[in-house]
């Protein structure tokens, strides 16, 4: 069993994450993911990598560092500084599933993959993601819920603005597929 925690409730309160891991281990937790911000901070402000480092030093179970890891270089820095056993990627992967291959490549080789994904790679990722949404949520719900994900995928691609305008108006999987094939050639 894995547990994800934050560093504490708010910045003014002593960070409880430093003091609670032993109790969690006795409860059967086999790995601990630590988001480096308090609950009150949500996703804003500096990440407390020092607290993640302190938690890692205090426990013998694997610790997963989380919080604002958006580049391969940053992934390496966070792992080196915290001593964490792994990292967890959140918002940086929104619309960028290739970030995992970029980080993996960098951690193995210390070389950045310089090429961005091709339109064909992005298109394949979008199609697979949409298919998963449609199967999980049903067609109507899947089409509506997928819109924000499509925006993430296409924000930096040529033709992305036109695609988002068109896809935000569709109601069916067929019209979503047509939008994708007409905008991204």
Domains and CATH numbers, the chain: 2-109 (3.20.20.70), 119-183 (1.10.1200)
Q: pLDDT tens digits for 62-101?
A: 999 999 999 999 999 999 999 999 999 999 999 888 899 9
Q: pLDDT tens digits for 113-138?
A: 877 778 788 778 888 888 888 899 99
Q: pLDDT tens digits for 98-112?
A: 899 999 999 999 998
Q: pLDDT tens digits for 151-169?
A: 888 877 778 888 888 888 8
DSSP for 159-171?
THHHHHHHHTT--
pTM: 0.78
Q: Cβ distance 161 to 151 under 8 Å?
A: no
């Amino acid at each position: 069993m894995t547990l994800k925690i934050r560093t504490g409730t708010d910045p003014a309160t002593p960070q409880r994450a430093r003091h609670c891991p032993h109790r969690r281990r006795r409860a059967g937790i086999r790995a601990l993911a630590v988001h480096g911000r308090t609950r009150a901070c949500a996703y804003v402000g500096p990440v407390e990598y020092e607290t993640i480092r302190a938690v890692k030093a205090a426990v013998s179970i694997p610790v997963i560092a989380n919080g604002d890891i958006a580049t391969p270089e940053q992934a390496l820095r966070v792992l080196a500084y915290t001593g964490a056993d792994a990292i967890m990627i959140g918002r940086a992967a929104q619309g960028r599933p290739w970030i995992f291959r970029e980080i993996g490549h960098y951690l193995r080789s210390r070389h950045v993959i310089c090429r961005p994904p091709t339109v064909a790679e992005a298109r394949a990722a979008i199609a697979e993601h949409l298919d998963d949404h449609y199967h999980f949520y049903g067609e109507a719900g899947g089409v509506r819920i997928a819109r924000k994900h499509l925006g993430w995928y296409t924000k930096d691609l040529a033709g992305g603005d036109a695609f988002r305008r068109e896809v935000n108006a569709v109601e069916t999987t067929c019209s979503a597929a047509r939008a994708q094939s007409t905008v991204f050639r």
